[in-house]
Amino acid sequence: MTLEIITPDKKFFDGEITAVIVPGTMGSFEVLNNHAPIISTLDRGKIVVRSSAKSQTFFIKSGVIEVLNNKIVLLAEGVEVH
């Protein structure tokens, strides 16, 4: 599946992943391949992006995520790498 992380300034991430964990407003959740379609608001917190090669961690201020047909679009107010 593919993930795009977009901020107001630029496209922060674009690539193939195996899973992503995000800080949903009602609690963290994980998106795996063939996940049901969903749109959710996101709180400040940690995003963990897993691919077959590695795992990356980012922090967002807030955002929105859309999952549809194994394509994930995450619109984030701001992203920090730690």
Where along the chain do its domains lie?
Answer: 2-81
User: Taking the model in full, what pTM does it have?
Assistant: 0.92
Measured in degrees and rounded to the nearest 5, phi and psi for residue 45 equal 165, -165
CB 50 within 8 A of CB 38: no
| pLDDT for the residue 81 | 87
Query: What are the angstrom distances between the C-alpha of 64 and each of 4, 44, 52, 53, 54?
Result: 12, 11, 25, 26, 24
CATH number, span 2-81: 2.60.15.10
Burial of 22 per CB tally in 10 Å (0-12, 13-18, 19+): buried
pLDDT in tens, the chain (82 residues): 999 999 999 999 999 999 999 999 999 999 999 999 999 999 999 999 999 989 999 999 999 999 999 999 999 999 998 7
pLDDT of 82 reads: 74
Q: How far from chain centre, in Å, is Cα 13?
A: 9
